[in-house]
Amino acid sequence: MDFSSIHEFKEAILEHSILNGRQIVFRPNDRVRARAKCNQKFGHVIFCSKVGRSEIYKIKTCRPKHHCGKVFKNKNASSEWVAMLSAEKLRSNNDIKLTQIMDDVIFRYGIAISLVVAWKLDDC
Ligand SMILES: [Zn+2]
């Protein structure tokens, strides 16, 4: 699978891991390479880096299986990610309450976000 940037790779990996209830970290994480590792010690690793001098980024290591349990409160579900999901709802309804956003994310994705994450949506 090809990506046009590391940012695109990270967005895809983050969405997949959040929707599957997994928490990951990116190490190393720079402009030409990123490794998505499971929060646990062993298991899931996906490494993507730039191919030579081209502008293509490819997955070079893929160990997709997780040996951990699913998480309900996922730290990867940041305010930017929630803002991206709820952008249309936020645009159409200026009076939406933070608890409505939190309930909507739980209902649609099965993920609990904190009040702080919902509150930070004003900054996005
Ligand atoms: Zn895992």
| Same-domain status, 83 and 59 | no
Q: Which whole-number Å values give the CA distances from 100 to 21, 96, 103, 119, in the listed order?
A: 21, 7, 5, 12
Judged by DSSP in three states, 63 sits in strand
| Domain span including residue 31 | 2-63
Six token digits for residue 24: 């990951």
The alpha carbon of 2 and the centre of ligand 1 are apart by a number of angstroms equal to: 23
The alpha carbon of 38 and the centre of ligand 1 are apart by a number of angstroms equal to: 4
The alpha carbon of 18 and the centre of ligand 1 are apart by a number of angstroms equal to: 11
Judged by DSSP in three states, 19 sits in helix
The alpha carbon of 114 and the centre of ligand 1 are apart by a number of angstroms equal to: 22
The alpha carbon of 46 and the centre of ligand 1 are apart by a number of angstroms equal to: 12
Task: List Cβ neighbours of 120 (8 Å cut-off, separation of 6 or more).
Answer: 79
The alpha carbon of 15 and the centre of ligand 1 are apart by a number of angstroms equal to: 14
Convert the pLDDT of each residue in 41-91 to its tens digit.
778 899 999 999 999 999 999 998 888 888 888 888 888 888 887 788 778
Residue 87 in any domain: the answer is yes
Task: List Cβ neighbours of 92 (8 Å cut-off, separation of 6 or more).
Answer: none
| Same-domain status, 7 and 38 | yes
Convert the pLDDT of each residue in 70-82 to its tens digit.
888 888 888 888 8
Residue 68 in any domain: the answer is no
pTM: 0.76
The alpha carbon of 74 and the centre of ligand 1 are apart by a number of angstroms equal to: 12
Count: domains in the chain: 2
